[in-house]
Structure 1
Amino acid sequence: MKRKLKEQGEILIRLGELLKNGYTLLESIDFLFIHLLKGKDDLRLKIIKELQNGAALSEVLLKLGMSNNVCAQVYFAEKHGLVFETLLDSGEYLLKRHEDQEALKKVLQYPLILISILFLLLILLRKMLFPRFFLLYESLGYQPSTLIAWMMNMIHYLPHIMFSILLCILLGIGLYYFKLKKLPPLIKSNLLLSIPVICHYIRLIQTHFFSREFSYLLKSGMSINEALLIFENQSFRPLFQAIASRVRKDLYNGLTFPESLQSFSLFSTEFLTVIRHGETNGKLSHELMFYSDFCMKELENRLNKWLKIIQPSVFVFVGLFILSIYFSIMIPLFQVMQNF
């Protein structure tokens, strides 16, 4: 079972600090079970036994409930040697993501409460108040204008529309988990990248990961082919496993590194330009790290913009809808009163 982001971050930071201060891996894991993983002696004994038998840290972390993304980063760190640095960076990143999630919850909490109240109000209006108004209008022979009639119909059918949208979202999530997850990684990636809004975020997240880990591997003295082989041999990120396998074949067939990457919709033209420039000046590892940082900052900027847009947009929607309810009820009443 996957642990929460905050718990994962705290475990990784504590483990990184212990390794940084000279503790062995066995001592560090044992220390974690004393403080952050209390009351799990069976798991502790199992993990320690696996480490004594030569299990990799990335495999151990997976059994401790860490995400595949974290385990993949640790797997690459075991190859390029920056283990405790990677643990600390990953832990801080997860804690930052936890803070972002909490901020998003706070931003959405009040609007969601308003929308829930609005939804209940719609149901009450539809079931109790509107039928009486319609009977009153019919008895008085009142015919509402086109705009008022449209507003009343919208209020009448909006619960059905909202329920249908929610049902479509749930069906979409279900389709993803039961259908898309079974597709090959490259096909699944291409389908997700065809979705207009989320494609930019997927591309930034994946490019950030690839640039960062590939840069570390190159800095440790590996060639491009050796780094690709490590990507191909890992199983935590199937997408990059498939990409690395195809790129290695392309390199064997005479294509250059950027020419091969160009065939994947995951990588932008800008990213390919960075690779070409890095190969030309011999600083590919440095430029990949720079671009990785750029992707992360761009992702944070985009998310912050959305946070600033979401709450005001919801408030405007709720306000306009309340006004439409008011006008759809009061304007016909005023018109009826004027006729008498």
Structure 2
Amino acid sequence: MALHKRFSLNNQKITIATQLQFLHVLQRMLSKGLTLIQSLDAMKYYAELEYTSSQILKCLEAGQHLDEAMDEAGFHHSIISYLFVVREKSNISERIEQCHQLFQQHVHYMRKFQQTVRYPLILLFIFSGLLFFIYARVIPSFQQLMFGELPMLLQAVIFLSSWLGYSIIVLIIAFSFGAVIWIFLRNNISLETKMTLYSRIPLYRSYIKRQTSFHFAALYSSLLQTGMPMKELLHYMSRQTKLPIISYYAKQMQLEYFRGRSVQGLLTTMDFLDKHLTDILSSNMDAANLAKDLAIYAEISIDTMYQRLQKRIVYIQPVFFSIIGAFIIFIYISLMSPMFELMNTM
């Protein structure tokens, strides 16, 4: 299901399957010793990759970076973010291989999530429709036969089901309304306001924190390995626009360095950086060891994030099936309770 999802391209569509194939073929070409330009030129012989590789090749010849060219071609934002983060690494083959592995892992978990929730959602809609039909058609008929009186148990079930149904409807409407407002206003909202909103959404806050920590560590490590001075490094991080939260934090750190202060106290106020990451950044170690520790942290953090996602996916089906089980009980009580009551009155 996820492999058929499409993303907008300037004049055509590009599927996730095509993106995976592109990264795989590009990595294979690079591993054979071809340059990036030679690899993209050779990929024109793949019919499904011809247009994409030609477009990226034109962008590179125009002086753009690989992440910028792939962004213009319509690749997934996670690919663009990772390639930007490791832009300064000299080994292009290693960059593409890691990017392919991460995106393949991302697609795997998205497919697994979709497969996990697909059938429970279908059953949930079916039983919801059945329950609505019973309350709209069957229960009124029983009520007429019993001269308007319904058993207390059935009244309680109807009240509980109605309360649950209306609560779900209100949540859906509120979520849809909020999503529409966010789509129209997000470009006019300041980054500080967005960060405040993110911090108030528990699950999304955790996701943003892990993503920001991973990208911060990977970018910082990549720049340190180039031998870039600290002031220039922070200036580069603050000027980039792909990762706005990291840019915001880099500007704050840059100001502290200009004032001659230590950034240790500032790091503790950065809510979207993991404590383990801030501890590493606060340690007084040389650039080589710091780059190594940050690279290790980035690798561990992305693995941990996907492991936690895997655990949460495992809990989804039991929750959905528990809800469906409750619907079945409601339906059973709704049908059997008035029948028993009617039999007792005969």
Q: What TM bracket, shorter-length normalisation?
A: 0.7 to 0.9
Which letter maps to 2:128? F
Question: CA shift at 1:60, angstroms?
Answer: 1.3
8 Å contact from structure 1 (residues 215, 285) kept in 2: yes
1:115 is matched with 124
8 Å contact from structure 1 (residues 62, 68) kept in 2: yes
8 Å contact from structure 2 (residues 239, 247) kept in 1: yes
2:249 aligned with 1:238: no
2:221 is matched with 215
Question: CA shift at 1:15, angstroms?
Answer: 2.0
8 Å contact from structure 2 (residues 116, 317) kept in 1: yes
CA distance in structure 1 between the partners assigned to 2:300 and 2:49 by the alignment = 39
1:35 is matched with 46
2:306 aligned with 1:297: no
8 Å contact from structure 2 (residues 142, 338) kept in 1: no
Question: CA shift at 1:318, angstroms?
Answer: 0.6
Which stretch of structure 1 is more off in the superposition, 325-334 or 56-65?
325-334
Rate the CA distance shift 1:220–1:286 in 2: closer, same or farther, 3 A.
same
Question: CA shift at 1:37, angstroms?
Answer: 4.2
Rate the CA distance shift 1:180–1:57 in 2: closer, same or farther, 3 A.
same
Q: Which runs of 5+ in 1 are unaligned?
A: none
RMSD: 2.6
CA distance in structure 2 between the partners assigned to 1:201 and 1:143 by the alignment = 49
CA deviation digits over 1:34-82, x for unaligned, max 9? 3164463xx7665444433433222211122123443343234332323
CA distance in structure 1 between the partners assigned to 2:221 and 2:116 by the alignment = 36
Pairs aligned (count)? 335
- After TM superposition, list the pairs within 5 Å mapping 1:261-300 onto structure 2: 261-277=267-283, 279=285, 283-300=289-306
1:144 is matched with 151
8 Å contact from structure 1 (residues 215, 288) kept in 2: yes
Scaled by the length of structure 1, the TM-score of the pair is 0.87
2:103 is matched with 94
2:20 aligned with 1:9: yes
Which stretch of structure 1 is more off in the superposition, 177-186 or 107-116?
177-186
Which letter maps to 2:46? H
Which letter maps to 1:18? M
Question: CA shift at 1:138, angstroms?
Answer: 2.8
CA distance in structure 1 between the partners assigned to 2:222 and 2:243 by the alignment = 17
CA distance in structure 1 between the partners assigned to 2:259 and 2:240 by the alignment = 23
Q: Which runs of 5+ in 2 are unaligned?
A: 1-7
CA distance in structure 1 between the partners assigned to 2:79 and 2:188 by the alignment = 22
Scaled by the length of structure 2, the TM-score of the pair is 0.86
CA distance in structure 1 between the partners assigned to 2:292 and 2:43 by the alignment = 34
CA distance in structure 1 between the partners assigned to 2:202 and 2:57 by the alignment = 46
The percent identity for this pair of structures is: 21
8 Å contact from structure 1 (residues 190, 265) kept in 2: no
Q: Out of 80, 96, 100, which is 1:71 matched to?
A: 80
Q: Out of 163, 177, 183, which is 1:177 matched to?
A: 183
